[in-house]
Structure 1
Amino acid sequence: MASGSNDYLTLSTYTAILHRQLQRDMNQLLIKDKLPVNITEMYLMVLILESQPISQRRAATTLAVDEGLMTRMVKHLKEIKLINKISSYKDKRVKELTLTKDGEKLLESALSKFDRWWEDFTPDLAGHDINDLGRELFEISKIVLAQRHNMPLNNSRVEES
């Protein structure tokens, strides 16, 4: 990486490149295997799985998608019975999302495709500590969400050091 303020530009650029490659390839795999979700809906389902229940508004903020897109995704996932949307018992105005059993099964299948995508690169990544990088990116994400949205990020998949 370059030194100084360009470090952040470099981090952002290569994170975006990696994400867009994964997103394109995963959407193609999901279509090929006739799974009724796209990668963004899959990200939402992972977030729901790790945070159940999660409010629809919090999910939109965490994934940085506008309320309209979130509403369309939730409507689609509800129609195909992959998620539930219920009013919070604490505040009926808050809509909480949870996965259905079918949603959990579909997510497991989709995540296996995600794992296979990464397995293609495993031999070339031997010198890199992906878990360490994941923990670092998780910490950066927590800081951004806390400062921009006053919202903590919880993720059971990231192991504590």
Structure 2
Amino acid sequence: MEQPANDYLTLATYNAILHRQLQRDMNQLLLKDDLPVNITEMYLMVLIMESHPISQRQAATTLAVDEGLMTRMVKHLTKLQLINKESSARDKRVKELTLTSEGEKLLDYGLKQFNDWWHSFESDLNGVNINQLGDELFDISKVVLSDRHQTPLRNDRISSQGMKKDL
């Protein structure tokens, strides 16, 4: 098998491994702490926090989940009073999602667990510039979403250099 000039398979494989390890460990932590959400719902809450508000359809596309799963997650998070779902002022057919104050509190706690997970092996990442890597993965995600799904990431992100990126 010929090795490509840019090893996209390696990037995709190790990205998937890292994601699945994080997902497994975070779900176990969330269960251990008796939190009523899973990591996919946490990802949705982070997306809502960053995009505030975001349409339910755009959230499904961005997180690459089918509309049925998105509907179930939104119903669950709404029932727990962690998010609000309201019709858009511009188009009543569009359902916009926002975090409640309880959702913000739970997300703060969940993100602390998330950061603790990363910090647990940070000292073993000598020579890896995690901010640069994050910026590069963000740029790849932005291209994939806009080129493949016509869905721009609609949030502002502070780059590792402290410059605001308008998306």
**TM superposition score normalised by structure 1:** 0.95
Q: Which amino acid aligns with 2:53?
A: P
Counterpart position of 1:10: 10
Q: Which amino acid aligns with 2:145?
A: L
1:126 matched to 2:126? The reply is yes
User: SS in structure 1 opposite 2:34?
Assistant: coil
1:54 matched to 2:54? The reply is yes
How is 1:33-112 mapped onto 2 (pairs within 5 angstroms)? 33-112=33-112
CA contact (8 A) 1:138 1:158 kept: no
Count of residues in correspondence between the two structures:
160
User: Separation in 2 of the partners of 1:62 and 1:36?
Assistant: 23
Q: CA RMSD in A?
A: 1.5
User: SS in structure 1 opposite 2:127?
Assistant: coil
CA contact (8 A) 2:131 2:160 kept: no
User: Separation in 2 of the partners of 1:155 and 1:134?
Assistant: 15
Counterpart position of 1:146: 146
Q: Which amino acid aligns with 2:154?
A: N
Q: Give the deviation of 1:46 after TM superposition.
A: 0.1
Counterpart position of 2:136: 136
**TM superposition score normalised by structure 2:** 0.92
Counterpart position of 1:29: 29
Counterpart position of 1:114: 114
Q: Which amino acid aligns with 1:148?
A: R
What does the per-residue CA deviation read over 1:33-60, in whole Å, with 9 as the maximum and x for residues that have no partner? 0011000000000000000110000000
Which ranges in structure 2 are unaligned for 5 or more consecutive residues? Answer: 162-167
Higher helix fraction (1 or 2): 1
Q: Quote the sequence identity (%).
A: 70
User: SS in structure 2 opposite 1:92?
Assistant: coil
User: Separation in 2 of the partners of 1:63 and 1:139?
Assistant: 16
CA contact (8 A) 1:134 1:158 kept: no
Q: Quickly say closer, same or farther: Cα 1:26–1:157, change in 2 above 3 A.
A: farther
Runs of at least 4 residues off by over 4 Å: none
Which ranges in structure 1 are unaligned for 5 or more consecutive residues? Answer: none
